[in-house]
Amino acid sequence: MNKKTIEDIDVTGKRVLVRVDFNVPQDDSGAITDDRRITSALPTIQYLLRKGAAVILCSHLGRPKGKVSAKYSLAPVAQHLSELLIGAPVTLVAATAADPLGIAEAGAKAAPGAVVLLENTRFSEAEERNDPALSEALAGLADVYVNDAFGAAHRAHASTEGVAHVMKSDGKPAVAGFLMRKELDFLGGAIAEPARPFVAILGGAKVKDKIPVIESLLPKLDTLLIGGGMAYTFYK
């Protein structure tokens, strides 16, 4: 992979902002029903903790539409992550009307060897607008930015694209985490030197987003299988 990762830079004792994908499914009581997205981020978090970094995590959850909502709070995620990171409790900052992600509190509580979790990035409507002010506020938290949210990396939001540009302009490193490296290595190998027959399965509901992917893959594939919600569009 031709992307720098956290192993390619010095993170010892640094304040590191990590964009993770903790958009996990929950039942009606708020209990997490599948924690794979959380466990997948553990190698990156644990590596940073071993290096004595101050780890500041940020993620979206659901679609709160730019408003603070108890339903979409990352509190269950913080509790579950604390249980997984034995000996490293996770502090979830409080969301306020003036500071829906709790950025100011996160800056005050970030310390070497500690894990701080910002509230849902989508509590601020500035997130999906890729607002420069939010990007700058996030970048101001850290010496290093790490994107380990493969499932959200395609979105040009403040916590993904925006903050990375600000970090670069400020002369601070923006690199990939271990999960991002794993996913890119796997996909790169699968597409560059695929085993035959090469079959791709695509699903989901957002057909518009999938069309460029389909057009890119078609020349390389032996078979393309369409499922999920987008199958109805092709059926029609």
- Closest CA relative to residue 154, chosen from 125, 123, 187: 187
- Total-model pTM: 0.85
Q: How far apart are CA 79 and CA 117, in angstroms?
A: 11
Please check whether residue 161 is in contact with residue 134, taking contact to mean a CB–CB distance below 8 angstroms: no
Q: How far apart are CA 210 and CA 181, in angstroms?
A: 22
**16 phi and psi, to 5 degrees?**
-120, 120
- Closest CA relative to residue 46, chosen from 158, 173, 148: 148
Tokens 């979105």 sit on residue: 155
Query: What would the DSSP string read from start to end of the chain?
Result: --S-BGGGS--TT-EEEEE------B-TTS-BS--HHHHTTHHHHHHHHHTT-EEEEE---S--TTS--GGG-SHHHHHHHHHHSTT--EEEPPP-SS-TT-HHHHHHH--TT-EEE---GGGSTTTTTT-HHHHHHHHTT-SEEEE--GGGTTS--IIIIIHHHHHHHTT--EEE-HHHHHHHHHHHHHHHS--SS-EEEE--S-HHHHHHHHHHHGGG-SEEEE-TTHHHHHH-
Query: Digits of tens for pLDDT over the chain (236 positions)?
Result: 578 999 999 999 999 999 999 999 999 888 999 999 999 999 999 999 999 999 999 999 999 999 999 999 999 999 999 999 988 899 999 999 999 999 999 999 999 999 999 999 999 999 999 999 999 999 999 999 999 998 888 889 999 999 999 999 999 999 999 999 988 887 777 777 788 899 999 988 778 888 888 998 899 899 999 998 888 888 88
Question: CB under 8 Å to 56, separation ≥6 — which residues?
Answer: 15, 16, 17, 18, 106, 110, 116, 117, 118, 141, 142
pLDDT given at position 207: 83
Q: How far apart are CA 80 and CA 35, in angstroms?
A: 9
pLDDT given at position 171: 96
pLDDT given at position 1: 55
